[in-house]
């Protein structure tokens, strides 16, 4: 996949505050890249530099082979939806969507056709003549999305474009957005702090923390193979177990857990034998059984959630584990003795 957008060593400070810190990214042609991270980690700042509203202190931004680091926004062929989706308040929805085409000098009849199609795509044909002040927050977001896409930009930059929508509409729009993006084949950078949204939509996810990209990979890679405690916990619930690397064979490590149980785990970077390690295992990978296989302990509580049970388990050595179990099959009860096990491939070593 040819890189359509390259971000190389980009850094930006605001006074003492290091907002974006030496970020490298290569976004492939037609790829949907999710930028995921907690509030304040630098997502918007990075997007604004790609869009041209902020100049990096250092580093370069390259689009389709051209260095655009200092090019003004209008000279970049980018469609942008801002976090606050700033629509022109005195223009109707249709005029907002058509604005970018008008300034590009497109013929009126063509603009009308394109604007209609763009509003249709976001289910807003009926609201074409309303002003932003007469639209709900979610409708305004959809107008902003239509406005960004109608110019058929080379790259689409979206900063939390669905955050004002309620849950159902949001899920509907996620599917719509993904289909639209696939159909048009447009390279997209999508900012969100919602991990499920990032996983649903993205081809790859860049997980950011304090201005840095901590991990970059497919949703499955970052979810199943988080490299750090931060990434593991940010992307959902995880169990962290303490132990020591007993044996190291390539990327497979035998870990002696606290309490003595030996388990296998995968490690992207093999640790030194004998060193303390931390193991991450997702709750859905942990199986509790009433037969002595795995790590022994006691069931502390079982919560029924309809589609699953959450079992809270404490190993004999005192580590807390959480297991998601199907409601069918053996059902543990509070106070039961049980044994926890998981497939070796689902346990990964992480950096603390
Ligand atoms: N114009 C500015 N002046 C000063 N500091 C700024 C400015 N813009 C951003 N910052 C600071 O830079 C850091 C990164 O901000 P940014 O808006 O990029 O975060 P974010 O990841 O988009 O967060 P959120 O999820 O809340 O939108 C924050 O500490 C923020 O306070
Ligand atoms: Mg932001």
Task: Give the pLDDT confidence of 88-117 residue by residue, as tens digits.
Answer: 999 999 999 999 999 989 999 999 999 999
* CA 18 to ligand 1 centroid distance, Å: 10
**pLDDT digits over 120-174, tens only?**
988 899 999 999 999 987 788 889 989 998 988 889 999 998 887 788 878 888 8
Please tell me which residue, 15 or 328, carries the higher pLDDT value.
Answer: 15
Name the token pair of 236.
């959902």
* Three-class DSSP labels, the chain: CCEEEEEEEEEEEECCEEEEEEEEEEEECCCEEEEECCCCCCHHHHHHHHHCCCCCCEEEEEECCEECCCCCHHHCCEEEECCCCCCCCCCCHHHHHHHHHHHCCCCHHHHHHHHHHHHHHCCCHHHCCCCHHHCCHHHHHHHHHHHHHHCCCCEEEEECCCCCCCHHHHHHHHHHHHHHHHHHCCEEEEEECCHHHHHHHCCEEEEEECCEEEEEECHHHHHHCCCEHHHHHHCCCCEEEEEEEEEEECCEEEEEECCCCEEEEECCCCCCCCCEEEEEECHHHCEEECCCCCEEEEEEEEEECCCCEEEEEEECCCCEEEEEECCCCCCCCCCCEEEEECCHHHEEEEEC
* CA 12 to ligand 1 centroid distance, Å: 11
**For 237-350, which CATH class?**
mainly beta
> Binning pLDDT at 50, 70 and 90, where does residue 352 land?
low
Contact 321, 243 (CB under 8 A): no
The predicted model gives 251-274 an average pLDDT of 89
Tell me the fold of 3-225: Rossmann fold (3.40.50)
The predicted model gives 15-35 an average pLDDT of 96
State residue 119's pLDDT score: 94
* CA 159 to ligand 2 centroid distance, Å: 7
Q: How far apart are CA 96 and CA 129, in angstroms?
A: 10
Q: How far apart are CA 145 and CA 139, in angstroms?
A: 10
Q: How far apart are CA 83 and CA 79, in angstroms?
A: 13
The predicted model gives 25-48 an average pLDDT of 96
State residue 116's pLDDT score: 96
The predicted model gives 6-21 an average pLDDT of 97
pLDDT of 261 higher than 90:
no
Q: What percent of the chain has pLDDT over 70?
A: 99
Q: Which ligand neighbours the alpha carbon of 36 most closely?
A: 1
Q: Ligand 1: which residues within 6 Å by Cβ?
A: 14, 17, 19, 37, 39-45, 83, 193
* CA 177 to ligand 1 centroid distance, Å: 26
**Residue in this structure with the two tokens 């064979």, named with its chain if needed:** 249
**Residue in this structure with the two tokens 């916990």, named with its chain if needed:** 233
> Binning pLDDT at 50, 70 and 90, where does residue 1 land?
low
Tell me the domain boundaries of the chain.
Answer: 3-225, 237-350
The mean pLDDT of the chain is 92
| Atom of ligand 1 minimally distant from the CA of 38 | 25
pLDDT of 185 higher than 70:
yes
**Residue in this structure with the two tokens 């979610």, named with its chain if needed:** 138
pLDDT of 192 higher than 90:
yes
Of 180-184, 245-249, 331-335, minimum mean pLDDT range: 180-184
* Ligand 1 mutation target, pool 13, 23, 44, most atoms within 8 A of CB: 44
| Atom of ligand 1 minimally distant from the CA of 48 | 18
As a whole number of Å, the end-to-end CA separation of the chain is: 33
Residue 26 burial by Cβ neighbours in a 10 Å radius (0-12, 13-18, 19+): middle
Q: Which ligand neighbours the alpha carbon of 82 most closely?
A: 2
**pLDDT digits over 323-341, tens only?**
999 988 888 999 999 999 9
pTM of the model: 0.87
Give the sign of the dihedral formed by CA 211, CA 25, CA 278, CA 318: positive
The predicted model gives 3-25 an average pLDDT of 96
Q: Whose CA is nearest to atom 18 of ligand 1?
A: 42
Q: Whose CA is nearest to atom 1 of ligand 1?
A: 14
State residue 188's pLDDT score: 95
State residue 20's pLDDT score: 98
* CA 209 to ligand 2 centroid distance, Å: 13
State residue 149's pLDDT score: 86
Does residue 185 come out as left (phi exceeding 0), alpha (psi in the -120 to 50 range) or beta?
left
């Amino acid at each position: 996949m040819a890189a359509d957008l390259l971000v190389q060593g980009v850094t930006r400070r605001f006074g003492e505050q290091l907002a974006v810190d030496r970020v490298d990214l290569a976004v492939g042609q037609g790829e949907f890249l999710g930028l995921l991270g907690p509030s304040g980690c630098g997502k918007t700042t990075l997007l604004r530099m790609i869009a041209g509203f902020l100049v990096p202190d250092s580093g370069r931004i390259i689009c389709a082979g051209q260095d655009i680091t200092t090019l003004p926004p209008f000279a970049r062929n980018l469609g942008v939806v801002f976090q606050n989706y700033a629509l022109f308040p005195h223009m109707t929805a249709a005029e907002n969507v058509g604005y970018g085409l008008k300034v590009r000098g497109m013929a009126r009849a063509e603009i009308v056709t394109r604007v209609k199609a763009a509003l249709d795509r976001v289910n807003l044909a009926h609201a074409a003549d309303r002003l932003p002040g007469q639209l709900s927050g979610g409708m305004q977001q959809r107008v902003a999305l239509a406005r960004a896409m109608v110019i058929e930009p080379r790259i689409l930059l979206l900063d939390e474009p669905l955050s004002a929508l309620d849950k159902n509409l949001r899920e509907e729009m996620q599917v719509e957005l993904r289909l639209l993006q696939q159909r048009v084949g447009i390279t997209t950078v999508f900012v969100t702090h919602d991990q499920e949204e990032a996983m649903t939509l993205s081809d790859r996810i860049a997980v950011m923390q304090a201005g840095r990209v901590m991990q970059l990979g497919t949703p499955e890679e970052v979810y199943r193979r988080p490299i750090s405690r931060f990434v593991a916990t940010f992307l959902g619930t995880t169990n962290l177990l303490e132990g020591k690397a007993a044996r190291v064979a390539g990327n497979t490590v035998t870990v002696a857990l606290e309490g003595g149980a030996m388990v296998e785990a995968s490690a992207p970077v093999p640790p030194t034998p004998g060193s303390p390690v931390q193991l991450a295992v997702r709750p859905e990978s942990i199986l509790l059984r009433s037969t002595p296989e795995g790590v022994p302990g006691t069931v502390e509580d079982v919560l029924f959630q309809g589609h699953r049970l959450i079992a809270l388990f404490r190993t004999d050595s005192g580590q807390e584990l959480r297991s998601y179990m199907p409601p069918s099959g053996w059902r543990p009860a509070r106070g039961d003795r049980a044994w926890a096990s998981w497939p070796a491939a689902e346990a990964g070593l992480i950096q603390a």
